[in-house]
Amino acid sequence: MTSSTRRIVLSLYMRVFRIARSWQAQSGVASDTESERQYILQEACTLFRKNQQLTDPESIQKCIEECEARIEIGLHYRNPYPRATYLPPMGLATQKGRKMRAQQRWRKQARPIYLQSHDET
């Protein structure tokens, strides 16, 4: 990892912690605020530690883009949890084989960047 990439990753990590420190739940209830703060901190620690050993510049850049997207979406919608996608599970494939593989490939390509690591955790 280059020094500029390391600086970017560390600044994102600190930004997430600053956001968690000042986070206020949209409902205004103190228990909701505290649980959402804990979720933000736990999610950040889990994902940053999981990706700590990455060395491929392309995969590091994807993780950086995912982090930035999740931060922006969370701040915009005031919701720290990942937004759901509403695609029917294998709704178009009627048989196994070529159509099923194509359906799985399309679903993988249609997956938003902010949900790339959500299913892995």
Beta strands (DSSP E) in 1-121 are none
DSSP 94: -
| Structure confidence by residue, pLDDT tens digits, 72-98 | 999 999 999 887 666 555 555 555 666
The mean pLDDT of the chain is 84
**pLDDT attached to residue 104:** 73
pTM assigned to the model = 0.75
pLDDT of 110 > 60? The answer is yes
- Angle in degrees, CA 17, 83, 86, rounded to 5: 165
The rounded distance, in Å, linking the Cα atoms of 97 and 60 is: 34
How much is the average pLDDT of 41-55?
93
d(CA 82, CA 94): 30
